[in-house]
């Protein structure tokens, strides 16, 4: 047995003593084999990543070009829709869809998918993909029905709204709004941590544009659903149409001077009774005023019709004026609609010149001067109010009775609502809630999506010198603080273009500033929601500000007397609530001459 065994071992070339060395050799060969396989696998994967990275870079370059083209086409489309150039808008939409689809395709292939799941660059590629999908969804799903929608059905023609046409528009706008809101929600869910600057900036910009689009589509959707009941399709309605006079400034635009009653039934509109606030006298004991407003303005808003809108929160002012109207006339109304002479000038672009009592003609480019300057030089106070009411009635009658270019009218309304020159409040709570914090509601929001600073002006002269005021405001986003809040620096400049002599007594009024030609303005600065007002300087000198609060915002108020040809500058430092945002917004009192504004943004605090 043993020889055979030895023979076998000898024949195999391995003796008993060589066996351990042989095992060690096989182990080394196996390790070398595993190493070679690992190196080969690494080489293959590395090569794949290099190729994929190059492919993703190439596709990213393509996507960027397509997205830039799409952005330019979207801006063109917006301008063409507003101008009513449907033919060009359709061609622009086709080009936009081509570019957005190409961007979506460039970010949707397997190479891009693999890149989205790699460290460091994955989040950026995922964000670019989301941007491409959002733009393509809007181009394919939201914009086509929006172009097909005849928005002129939202405007009464011949004094009447067509309920059937409005129902069609309502269904189309509801579908568009659903798409826009879904796109907005998907973009809001994209994390920004770890994104490179260009991608983060592109995402932030797109979110801002989608937010604005979402506000517009939501407002249009609301309007299409609310207009039928508001215009009496379900039963008669009555509203107060009040005219704010920015020659004597109030926070929402101007002192309420004249009014008219609007009757609406089955979509048809007509003007009824007209009058002036002066005929109401004053109210003692005062009407009930919200405690926060009373702490800032005492009982004035509840005593004098001219002071109901010392507060910028239009629902408070409208409810007070409605009750004053009820007590003096015995009539009740379903809501209050406010406009000013600048709105009339916009509407006159759609109607053309309108003849008014006294042989005068109101035209778009001269209406503001005629109503807020010329008339005061020629008439006493009673005749001015009557002339103002008759002028407004003449413009509205032209809108209701004549064939008007509907798109020009829509453009005028859009501009006026954007500038907060048209405000509406419904006395029916369920309707008022649907307006939310939209611009037309004139609601001072208790929460901010973007930190918002309010600058509201009230005349302290007892005069009508507001026509000569030239306001400007700059808001600069400052440093991020350790507590998560952010500093904001506000600079408000008031310049007076008033002459040094030659104005009538009805313009210079009570001359509470001392010099009849000096404009005294009460400047109320409202912090962002949950924020604070830290301090102020007037013309470089520290100045005290009376303090208060309204609807979750701190309020600081300073007084600025501005002589003819002079300027005063108020600088205010504010704080936001906790926020990482580098953007901010201004909310301003609409004035006879539009504000000059500038907002200086900053990087977000997490960059």
Question: Above 80 in pLDDT, residue 568?
Answer: yes
Please report whether residue 441 resides in a domain: no
Residues 193 and 101 in one domain: yes
- pLDDT value for 414: 81
Q: Dihedral of the CA atoms 385, 389, 395, 398 (nearest 10)?
A: -150
Q: What is the pLDDT of residues 123-150, one digit of tens each?
A: 777 777 777 888 888 888 888 887 777 7
Number of independent structural domains in the chain:
4
Residues 544 and 68: their CA atoms lie apart, in Å, by 49
Residues 276 and 423 in one domain: yes
The answer to whether the beta carbons of residues 595 and 529 sit under 8 Å apart is no
Residues 245 and 372 in one domain: yes
Q: What is the pLDDT of residues 269-296, one digit of tens each?
A: 888 999 999 999 999 999 999 999 999 9
Q: Which among 478, 498, 474, 499 is positioned nearest to 488, based on CA atoms?
A: 478
Please report whether residue 550 resides in a domain: yes
Q: What is the mean pLDDT of residues 218-241?
A: 84
Exposure of 538 in the CB half-sphere (CA atoms within 13 A): 15
Exposure of 118 in the CB half-sphere (CA atoms within 13 A): 18
Greater pLDDT, 215 or 552: 552
Please report whether residue 76 resides in a domain: yes
Residues 15 and 164 in one domain: no
Q: Work out the number of other CB atoms within 10 angstroms of the CB of residue 374.
A: 12
Residues 163 and 181 in one domain: yes
The answer to whether the beta carbons of residues 247 and 266 sit under 8 Å apart is no
For residue 157, the 8-state DSSP code is B
Residues 19 and 64 in one domain: no
| Alpha carbon distances (Å) from 549 to 308, 384, 475, 489, 584 | 17, 36, 21, 19, 20
Map tokens 């801006």 to a residue.
75
Residues 206 and 71: their CA atoms lie apart, in Å, by 10
Question: Above 90 in pLDDT, residue 491?
Answer: yes
**Percentage, residues of the chain above pLDDT 90:** 47
- pLDDT value for 31: 57
**Percentage, residues of the chain above pLDDT 70:** 80
Instruction: Place 9 in a pLDDT band, splitting at 50, 70 and 90.
Output: very low
- pLDDT value for 115: 63
Residues 283 and 347 in one domain: yes
> Domain holding 506: CATH number?
2.60.40
* Domain residue limits at 592: 447-600
Residues 404 and 517 in one domain: no
Please report whether residue 442 resides in a domain: no
| Alpha carbon distances (Å) from 70 to 75, 97, 125, 142, 300 | 9, 8, 19, 15, 53
Instruction: Place 82 in a pLDDT band, splitting at 50, 70 and 90.
Output: low
Greater pLDDT, 323 or 142: 323
- pLDDT value for 438: 85
Question: Above 70 in pLDDT, residue 119?
Answer: no
Global pTM value: 0.78
The listed range with the strongest mean pLDDT (119-128, 195-204, 386-395) is 386-395
Residues 229 and 233: their CA atoms lie apart, in Å, by 5
The sign of the dihedral angle between the CA atoms of 89, 90, 95, 100 is: positive
Q: What is the mean pLDDT of residues 332-343?
A: 96
Q: What is the pLDDT of residues 305-314, one digit of tens each?
A: 999 999 999 9
Residues 588 and 556 in one domain: yes
Greater pLDDT, 392 or 493: 493
Question: Above 60 in pLDDT, residue 334?
Answer: yes
């Amino acid at each position: 047995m043993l020889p055979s065994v030895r023979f076998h071992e000898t024949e195999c070339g391995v003796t008993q003593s060589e066996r351990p060395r042989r095992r060690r050799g096989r182990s080394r060969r196996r390790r070398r084999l595993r190493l070679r396989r690992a190196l080969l696998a690494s080489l293959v994967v590395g090569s794949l990543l290099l190729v994929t990275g190059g492919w993703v870079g190439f596709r990213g370059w393509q996507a960027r070009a397509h997205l830039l083209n799409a952005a330019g086409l979207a801006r063109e489309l917006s301008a063409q829709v507003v101008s009513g150039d449907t033919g060009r808008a359709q061609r622009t939409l086709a080009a936009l869809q081509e570019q957005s689809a190409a961007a979506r395709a460039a970010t949707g292939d397997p190479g891009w998918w693999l890149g989205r799941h790699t460290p460091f660059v994955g989040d950026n590629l995922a964000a670019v993909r989301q941007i491409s999908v959002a733009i393509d969804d809007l181009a394919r799903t939201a914009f086509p029905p929006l172009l097909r929608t005849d928005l002129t059905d939202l405007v009464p023609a011949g004094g009447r709204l067509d309920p059937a046409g409005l129902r069609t528009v309502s269904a189309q706008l509801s579908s568009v709004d659903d798409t826009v809101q879904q796109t907005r929600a998907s973009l809001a869910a994209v994390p920004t941590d770890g994104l490179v600057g260009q991608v983060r900036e592109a995402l932030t910009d797109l979110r801002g544009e989608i937010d604005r689009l979402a506000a517009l589509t939501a407002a249009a959707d609301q309007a299409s659903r609310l207009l039928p009941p508001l215009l009496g399709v379900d039963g008669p309605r009555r509203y107060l149409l009040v005219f704010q006079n920015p020659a004597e400034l109030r926070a929402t635009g101007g002192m309420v001077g004249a009014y008219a009653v609007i009757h609406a039934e089955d979509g048809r509109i007509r003007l009824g009774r007209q009058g002036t606030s002066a005929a109401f006298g004053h109210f003692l004991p005062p009407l009930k005023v919200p405690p926060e407003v009373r702490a800032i303005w005492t009982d004035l808003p509840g005593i004098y019709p001219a002071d109901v809108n010392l507060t910028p929160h239009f629902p408070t002012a409208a409810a007070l004026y409605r009750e004053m109207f009820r007590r003096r006339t015995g009539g009740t109304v379903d809501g209050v609609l406010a406009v000013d002479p600048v709105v009339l000038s916009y509407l006159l672009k759609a109607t053309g010149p309108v003849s008014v009592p006294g042989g005068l003609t109101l035209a778009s480019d001269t209406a503001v001067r005629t109503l807020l300057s010329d008339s005061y030089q020629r008439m006493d106070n009673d005749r001015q109010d009557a002339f103002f009411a008759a002028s407004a009635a003449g413009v509205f009658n032209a809108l209701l009775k004549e064939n008007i270019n509907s798109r020009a009218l829509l453009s005028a309304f859009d501009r006026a609502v954007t500038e907060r020159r048209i405000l509406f409040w419904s006395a029916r709570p369920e309707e008022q809630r649907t307006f939310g914090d939209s611009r037309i509601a004139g609601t001072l929001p208790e929460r901010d999506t973007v930190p918002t600073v309010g600058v509201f002006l009230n005349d302290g002269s007892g005069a009508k010198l507001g026509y000569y005021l030239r306001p400007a405001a700059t808001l600069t986003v400052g440093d991020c603080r350790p507590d998560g809040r952010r500093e904001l620096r506000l600079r408000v400049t008031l310049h007076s273009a008033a002459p040094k002599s030659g104005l009538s007594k009805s313009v210079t009024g009570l001359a509470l500033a001392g010099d009849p030609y000096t404009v005294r303005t009460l400047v109320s600065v409202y912090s962002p929601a949950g924020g604070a007002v830290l301090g102020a300087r007037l013309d470089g000198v520290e100045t005290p500000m009376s303090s208060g609060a309204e609807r979750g915002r701190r309020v600081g108020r300073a007084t600025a007397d501005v002589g003819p040809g002079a300027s005063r500058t108020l600088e205010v430092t504010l704080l936001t609530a906790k926020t990482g945002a580098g953007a901010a917004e201004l909310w301003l009192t609409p004035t006879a001459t539009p504000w000059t504004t500038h907002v200086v943004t900053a990087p977000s605090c997490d960059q």
